[in-house]
Amino acid sequence: GEHNEKAMPIECNTKVADLLKGMADIYEDALRDQYRAKQYAAAASALRSLNFEITSINDCDVVPMLKKKDGKIRKYVGEILNTGKLKALEELRARPDVKACLELCGIHGVGPVTARSLFAKGYATVADLRARAPENLLTPAQKIGLKYYEEFKERIPREEVGFIATAVREAANTFQKDEVHCYCVGSFRRGKETSGDIDVLVECRDYSLANELLMHILSDLRPGGTSPRSGILTDDLLVGDHTYMGVAALLKPLKDDDDKPPIHRRVDIKVYDSESLPTALLYFTGSDKFNRSMRLWAKKKGFNLQDKGLFADRSQAQASRVRAKGEEDVFDALGLDYVPPEKRNV
């Protein structure tokens, strides 16, 4: 659980930041105003990362984006400091359309656009959809998101992430062992005690075999097979080119005395060639915020950083590819000190 989260950073201004983040989520998911969503989110994270508790509105002066005296977010910070509440947020949350969109956006595969259109058609809650959605209202992937709505919200203990990733690795190893390497990436590789999903990167040396390898892994893990892992994969969300998104659940609990049924978990698998491995590792390890700032840095230096490679110009041409043996080389080429995965949790 969360109580054994290692190296928990001390966070300041949690109350103010949480309320501002609440505004960001509403602008993002319900009102579809990306610009405002980003502003509120940025203000929240700036306040969280301060090294002191703000007590008056003037303390906002140390945050560049909150400096302007008549700024709306600055005023909201003042209101929260004075009253402990944010009326604008309470009003928005009370709006039926906002309420509905926030809940519907919590379904995996349902974005703000679908959420709004579902609300317009008279569906306001998960329960509504479960009770009376006609066959053709949701895509197959959205139906799976609806089915596992509560389960997908559960965090996955590190041990379980490792276990499921190991099953993928074992499945891959029955293909052509010397061709294949598996890495458990995402928040797991960043050292997190719990994850939102399981991310597995598969390196396939002979990339012409990549899709065949992926299909091999899937048939090993799906129900009805002969491998000891058969049945771990329960549902598919997307089977794409070199890419898989699906659902997994343990065949039996990790602890013998655990009699609760296994929780269904989101799994992402991506297959890359060996040349792309360093940048693919970097990309798929994240965090997404860390990736964004690194891509931006690369761009400023005239590079193009993608999961498929680091390129010395704007192109993705093989000729401008920067050779890299490992992640370290990518940092090096960009003039950056190496940042180990555990330090990429920004």
By the criterion CB under 6 A, which residues form the site for ligand DCP?
186-187, 195-197, 199, 283-284, 286-288, 291
DSSP states of 255-268: STT--SPPPPEEEE
28 counts as binding Mn ion under rule CB under 5 A: no
> How far, in Å, are 23, 76, 182, 220, 312 from residue 225 at the CA level?
48, 57, 21, 6, 46
**Of the residues 28, 79, 103, 197, which one makes contact with Mg ion according to CB under 5 A:** 197
Of 92-100, 199-207, 252-260, 316-324: span binding Mn ion (CB under 5 A): 199-207
State in angstroms the smallest separation of the CB of 266 from ligand DCP: 8
Binds 288: which of Mg ion, Mn ion, ligand DCP, none (CB < 5-8 Å by kind): ligand DCP
Our CB check for Mn ion shows the closer of 42 and 263 to be: 263
Hunting for tokens 């909150």 — which residue is that? 66
193 counts as binding Mg ion under rule CB under 5 A: no
Angle between helices 288-300 and 277-285 (to 10 degrees): 130
268 counts as binding Mn ion under rule CB under 5 A: yes
Identify the bridge partners of residue 200 per DSSP, sorted by sequence position: 184, 269
Our CB check for ligand DCP shows the closer of 244 and 284 to be: 284
Asked whether 320 and 313 are in contact (CB, 8 A), the reply is yes
Q: Where are the alpha helices (DSSP H) in 148-230?
A: 149-153, 158-173, 186-189, 210-221
Taking the C-alpha atoms of residue 30 and residue 101, their distance in angstroms, rounded to an integer, is: 5
**Of the residues 79, 197, 203, 235, which one makes contact with Mn ion according to CB under 5 A:** 197
183 counts as binding Mn ion under rule CB under 5 A: no
Our CB check for ligand DCP shows the closer of 13 and 187 to be: 187
State in angstroms the smallest separation of the CB of 188 from Mg ion: 7
Identify the bridge partners of residue 305 per DSSP, sorted by sequence position: 310
Residues 64-123 that bind Mn ion (CB under 5 A): none
Our CB check for Mg ion shows the closer of 186 and 341 to be: 186
